[in-house]
Structure 1
């Protein structure tokens, strides 16, 4: 799976899915849990927070809002990092529209570039994207390396072993089957790629993540598994995101695959009598040892 943006991929963004209320609440819960740990920091200490794979700034906005609620906004330096120049442009625009006096930087790069971007940060977030990284252990180690003593790392994912609520697997199989059937009728020339398992499908268990955190110097690791109900409309929006499309229907042109997934999600819902499908997020907060 390629993570390189193009003019075409910029037409199939994560933004519509991220706008759904359940998504905001899942991530707000993680942000609150992590930022609560700042209670032990001196009240006058400046706080540097890195938002890795910040995308269009959904998590950055939640961080700013929570720091404002805690009365520590003036101490915040927020650094958003993402490989997509277009996403960063949207993130900056979104932050500007908040009309708050907050120190922010949005920098083009990915997890591998972190040591060249920042050192001795107080906290890092990596929300809804760590499953896209092939070598998750090395990435967690790199995040640890940019944090100071007792630095905090929070991440989450709904693509891990345990994300499927029992009984929900049938929905995903039906959605895919219906999408492939639509493609065969509408675009018989298109062929699914058989180049192995998509990166986004190479899932770890909760225990794997805990082990990688501990091996990377995080002495304290908290996890929570949070189940939310996701509407068919939200699944449709996820099916319009280019990285999800490449994972679900590899090798199919994005425009064709997006139409197939949009058609098929409602057909799957009708077939199974569903209007929403539950999914479990894994939420992790680690604190480094001194």
Structure 2
């Protein structure tokens, strides 16, 4: 994906947003839906499960907890892959604190999505949560996932940045939030200018049918999709507005610290003006099985 980690981006992480209960709930539902297919696989052969773009390991821990709940006796290897060394350090710390059974082991590897075929192969299940929208070439990404999966391997993927994610009537919140953030910047930091050249990463949004088609054209036979409405509090939106990739997308070219502050102040202004404490968003959940 070409994410560039710096000391500055390490100050503006996804971790606060990922700690919210609504985020845990939507990802736990995807993990359960995906790993339910593992139950149909007979025998106690060792299983490998990969969490791509694992970040600080929020979803990796949900995977581990679901595997414990399912009561697998087989050897289970969890592999988290992410470009950020700092995120992986936090992910390993969080996994160590779970005190998993001896048959479940975890490895966290620094790498990009294109490195995957060199890192793992014949994987039983792979997850790519809340990140597919950041990938410019989604077809290439699905090909890479298919390449690392064993036959009948399972792929769980979701996003709240796709064509269909806005609950009707909520668009005005996003417009007002951005407008108020830009207004605050003009007043408090007139030297900060939005860049017309700086391009947010890969904001090509597909609709559910386009995702299904792309998966089926790249090695997956069965694709289950589900749309889930999630209420996200203003505090949740504030925390998303502290994440460097979101800041770059909403306010390209603005220094991260200034952008984070602008989005934090503006989200509450927008909520107050519209009389809203929470704004619903539709998550797209996808589970695909390799032929």
* Runs of 4+ off more than 3 Å: none
Counterparts of 2:74 and 2:8 in 1: how far apart (Å)?
39
Q: Which residue of 1 aligns with 2:164?
A: 162
Q: 1:151 to 1:11 in 2, by over 3 A?
A: same
Check conservation: 2:22, 2:230, Cα contact below 8 A. Answer: yes
Q: Which residue of 2 aligns with 1:247?
A: 249
Equivalent of 1:185 in 167, 184, 187: 187
RMSD: 1.2
Counterparts of 1:270 and 1:181 in 2: how far apart (Å)?
16
Q: Which residue of 2 aligns with 1:34?
A: 34
> For structure 1, which runs of at least 5 residues remain unmatched after alignment?
none
Q: By how many angstroms is 1:72 displaced?
A: 1.2
Q: By how many angstroms is 1:43 displaced?
A: 3.7
Q: Which residue of 2 aligns with 1:19?
A: 19
Counterparts of 1:130 and 1:249 in 2: how far apart (Å)?
21
TM-score scaled to structure 2, two decimals?
A: 0.97
Counterparts of 2:3 and 2:79 in 1: how far apart (Å)?
21
SS at match of 2:126: strand
Q: By how many angstroms is 1:2 displaced?
A: 6.4
The within-5 A match list for 1:153-232 is 153-195=155-197, 197-232=199-234
The within-5 A match list for 1:49-64 is 49-64=49-64
Check conservation: 2:128, 2:158, Cα contact below 8 A. Answer: yes
Q: Which residue of 2 aligns with 1:3?
A: 3
Q: By how many angstroms is 1:207 displaced?
A: 1.1
The within-5 A match list for 1:263-278 is 263-278=265-280
> For structure 2, which runs of at least 5 residues remain unmatched after alignment?
none
Counterparts of 1:90 and 1:117 in 2: how far apart (Å)?
21
Give the length in aligned residue pairs. 289
Q: By how many angstroms is 1:196 displaced?
A: 6.4
Per-residue Cα deviation, 1:121-177 (whole angstroms, up to 9, x for no partner): 011000001110100110011000000101111100000000000000000000000
Q: 1:43 to 1:70 in 2, by over 3 A?
A: farther
Q: By how many angstroms is 1:45 displaced?
A: 2.0
SS at match of 2:248: helix
Q: By how many angstroms is 1:110 displaced?
A: 1.3
SS at match of 2:252: coil
Counterparts of 2:56 and 2:198 in 1: how far apart (Å)?
30
Per-residue Cα deviation, 1:192-247 (whole angstroms, up to 9, x for no partner): 01126522532111111101100111000000011110000000000000000000
Check conservation: 1:240, 1:262, Cα contact below 8 A. Answer: yes
Check conservation: 2:2, 2:112, Cα contact below 8 A. Answer: no
Counterparts of 1:252 and 1:162 in 2: how far apart (Å)?
28
